[in-house]
């Protein structure tokens, strides 16, 4: 099964997804009573309109702030973490082992006396980095393939669309587990590469649908009539109109990638110890369920949940801001 966001938002073939044309930002809809009687209408750029709409979505703004904080935490883990990530296991550290949350160790310590808060802060680095990198890579691949398929149509489209279908059929978690075990030995770049290779399809479908509807528009026809090259038409007229949906889809890919990476690390086929990730922290603490050490299972999972939740809310806010017509 695909992870959540693909279930909920992926445009299904034929039905379910929004009409591509609807996804385009349309300035005239959102005048929102700005034209008070007698007042001069204020000219606003698309960007200003977008910003106003986004900042009205309070939950999305909160999600954005949380995400920025999380990334800052990950970047400055060295400075922020209260303890060493890999402390020398001397008597001082070991005597602190298996202690529940306290003033000294906010989230408690594990069997070796390592501070959980420190590990959660460092663990975010990998998850957040993988989420962002996979989304960027998948977006580039997906946009390129979707753009070419949609714009040139015909056999090119047939070939690329069939290829997309093929990738969608591959059981992702199983293939990732095999690859993680046999190829990468848990190396982060390999995991990023494989995740990106599997998750570009959603973007390709979104972009292809958009381009097909956009290339029939009058302004594209006008550009073509005035002798613009395909390259220029795509770059100047089509791509800018796809920015909104692409951003939303890319955001959702971040969420998928973070969940899959943590699942993979939890299963033991992802990033390996001593590198700390939220997933392998949970994998190590799974055995404490039902014991007095079970406080160890909450923080890493909560960190994943909050991060993905924030990403999903951000995606929702971006969608509303880019596309005021859609009501979700």
- Closer to another protein at the Cβ: 19 or 32? 19
Give the orientation angle of helix 188-199 with respect to helix 116-152, to 10 degrees: 40
Among residues 69, 165, 273, 325, the one that binds another protein under rule CB under 8 A: 165
- Closer to another protein at the Cβ: 159 or 240? 159
Give the CA distances from residue 21 to residues 85, 216, 243, 267, 326, in Å, rounded to whole numbers and listed in that order. Answer: 50, 11, 13, 41, 11
Is 159 a binding residue for another protein by CB under 8 A? The answer is no
Residues 81-140 that bind another protein (CB under 8 A): none
* Shortest distance (Å) from residue 256 CB to another protein: 10
State the DSSP H helix or E strand holding residue 248, giving kind and residue range, or none if neither: helix 239-267
Among residues 126, 308, 314, 318, the one that binds another protein under rule CB under 8 A: 308
- Residue where the block lists tokens 């909920």: 8
Is 285:102 a contact under the CB 8 Å cutoff? no
Among residues 170, 221, 222, 273, the one that binds another protein under rule CB under 8 A: 170
Strand boundaries in 62-220, DSSP class E: none
Cα separation of 302 and 315, whole Å? 20
| 84-93 contact pairs (CB < 8 A, 24+) | 84/118, 85/118, 85/119, 85/122, 85/276, 86/274, 87/113, 87/114, 89/113
- Closer to another protein at the Cβ: 83 or 199? 199
Is 235 a binding residue for another protein by CB under 8 A? The answer is no
Query: What count of other Cβ atoms lies within 10 Å of the Cβ of residue 26?
Result: 12
Residues 239-258 that bind another protein (CB under 8 A): 255
- Closer to another protein at the Cβ: 161 or 275? 161
Segment lying near another protein (by CB under 8 A), choices 82-90, 101-109, 209-217, 281-289: 281-289
Cα separation of 67 and 314, whole Å? 9
Q: Which residues bind another protein (CB under 8 A)?
A: 1-5, 7-8, 12-16, 162, 165-166, 168-175, 177-179, 181-183, 255, 259, 262-263, 266-267, 282, 286, 289-290, 294, 297-298, 301, 304-305, 308-309, 311-313, 316, 327-328
């Amino acid at each position: 099964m695909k992870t959540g966001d693909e279930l909920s938002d992926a445009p299904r073939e034929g039905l379910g997804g929004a009409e591509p044309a609807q996804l385009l930002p349309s300035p005239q809809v959102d005048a929102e009573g700005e034209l008070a009687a007698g007042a001069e209408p204020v000219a606003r750029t698309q960007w200003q309109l977008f910003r106003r709409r986004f900042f009205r979505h309070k939950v999305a703004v909160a999600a954005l702030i949380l995400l920025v904080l999380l990334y800052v935490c990950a970047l400055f883990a060295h400075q922020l973490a209260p303890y060493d990530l890999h402390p020398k296991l001397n008597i001082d550290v070991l005597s602190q082992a298996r202690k529940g949350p306290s003033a000294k160790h906010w989230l408690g310590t594990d069997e070796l006396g390592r501070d959980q808060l420190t590990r959660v802060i460092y663990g975010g680095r990998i998850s957040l980095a993988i989420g962002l990198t996979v989304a960027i890579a998948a977006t580039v691949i997906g946009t390129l393939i979707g753009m070419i398929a949609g714009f040139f149509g015909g056999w090119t489209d047939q070939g690329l669309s069939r290829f997309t279908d093929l990738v969608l059929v591959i059981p992702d978690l199983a293939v990732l587990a095999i690859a993680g075990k046999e190829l990468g030995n848990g190396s982060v770049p390999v995991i990023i590469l494989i995740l990106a290779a599997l998750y570009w399809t959603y973007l390709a479908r979104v972009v292809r649908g958009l381009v097909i509807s956009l290339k029939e528009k009058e302004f594209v026809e006008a550009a073509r009539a005035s002798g613009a090259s395909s390259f220029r038409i795509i770059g100047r007229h089509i791509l800018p109109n796809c920015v909104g949906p692409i951003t939303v889809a890319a955001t959702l890919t971040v969420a998928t990638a973070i969940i899959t990476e943590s699942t993979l690390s939890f299963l033991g086929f992802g990033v390996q110890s001593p590198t700390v990730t939220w997933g392998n922290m949970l994998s190590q603490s799974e055995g404490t369920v039902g014991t007095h050490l079970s406080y160890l299972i909450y923080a890493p999972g909560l960190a994943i949940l909050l991060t993905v939740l924030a990403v999903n809310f951000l995606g929702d806010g971006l969608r509303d801001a880019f596309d005021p017509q859609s009501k979700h």
